[in-house]
Amino acid sequence: MRSTLKSISLKLAFTLVMMATSVQSFAQSPLTIYFYNPEININRNSILKHKFDQFLATFGNYQFQPVSDQATFEHLVRTENQALFMMSSWLFHSFRKELTLEAQLVGMKNGSIYYKKLLVLNKATPITDWANITIASAGTKKYSLAVLKGMQSSHKLSNIHADQLLIVPKDVDALLAVGFGMAQGALSTEDSFDQLKTLYQNQYDQLTVVGRSQVFPRLTVVASNKPSKHQEKLITLINQMSETPSGKIPLSILGLDNWKHIDNADTFYQSGLQISQGLREGRKP
C-alpha cells in the first residue's frame, strides 16, 4: 500500500512540476510581430529586426520577426493566433475574408496613409524596345511585375518579364541606377522620387515619369478581430513609435514617419484590390 501511495505521489509531483514548467514557459514566450513586405528588399530585414527589437525591449517581452517569403508568412497568419502581423495592405486585402483578422493600424508618411508607384525613365534615352530594357526595383520580382502590369501608361508594360528586373536595396537606389546607366527604368514611390530631388537634383532632372499605379494604403498592422489585452498593449506601443528616438529609427527603415488607427475598415479595404488580385494569381492554396 505504501509503495502504491508513494508511486502515486511521485507521479502527481511530476505532473505538477511539468504543469508549472509549461505555464512558466508560456508566460515567458514573447509576443511576436511577424513582418513581410515584398515592396522592400529582404536584405534589409536583419537591420530592421535589430532596430525593432531594441525599441520593443524597453517595454516588455516582445520580438519582431521578418519573414522572407510569402508562403511561410501566410502559413503563420493562419496558425499564429496570438501574434501581430505587419504586411502590405494589398496582401492582407487578398485573403482578409478567409480569416478572423482585422487591420488595426496603417502607416503614414508626410501626413498621408496612401502612396503611388511610379515608372521613371531617363529623358535622354528613348525606349523603342520594351522587351529588352532593364528596370530597377526594390521590391520582389513578383510584386514589381504586378505593379507594372496594373499601371496607367501609354506604353505596353504588360510585356515586361522578370528577367528584365534589377533588384536593388531601396527606391532611391533604383532611381540612381537609371541616372548611372545601370538600368533604363526604375520603379519607385512618389515619396522617394520627391526625396531624390532634395538629395540629387542633377539626377532628378534627368528623369521623367511615364507610368503611375493606382493609390494603395501603406503598410498595415493586423491582429485578431478581438485582440487580447496583451495584443492591444503592443498595438498601442507600435502606434506611439514616433514619440521616441528608438521608435523613429525602425519607422524610418519602413519608409514611414507615423501610424494611424483605422477607423473605417470597410473604406480602407476598398484600396488595393487590383494589385491584390494580380498577386493572387498563381498562389498556392
* Tens of pLDDT, residues 187-227: 999 999 999 999 999 999 999 999 998 888 899 999 988 88
| Residue 26 pLDDT | 40
C-alpha Rg value of the chain to the nearest Å: 23
Which DSSP string corresponds to the chain? Answer: -HHHHHHHHHHHHHHHHHHHHHHHHHHHSPEEEEEE-TTS-GGGHHHHHHHHHHHHHTTSSEEEEE-SSHHHHHHHHHH-TT-EEEE-HHHHHHHGGGSSEEEEEEEEBTTBSEE-EEEEEETTS--S-GGG--EEESS-HHHHHHHHHT-EESS-GGG--GGGEEE-SSHHHHHHHHHTTS-SEEEEEHHHHHHHHHH-HHHHHTEEEEEEPPPEE--EEEEESS--HHHHHHHHHHHTGGGSHHHHHHHHHTT-SEEEE-S-HHHHTTTTHHHHHHHHTT---
In the chain, domain spans = 27-109+218-274, 117-212
Shared fold status for 27-109+218-274 and 117-212: yes
* pTM confidence score: 0.79
**Which CATH class, in words, describes the domain spanning 117-212?**
alpha beta
Quickly tell me which residue has 509503495 as its cell: 3
Question: What does the pLDDT look like over 82-115, one tens digit per residue?
Answer: 999 999 887 887 777 777 788 899 999 999 998 9
Domain 27-109+218-274: assigned CATH number? 3.40.190.180
Output 6 or 229, whichever has higher pLDDT: 229
Distance between first and last Cα of the chain? 58
User: Average pLDDT of 157-183?
Assistant: 91
Q: Decide: 68 and 54 in contact? Cβ < 8 Å.
A: no
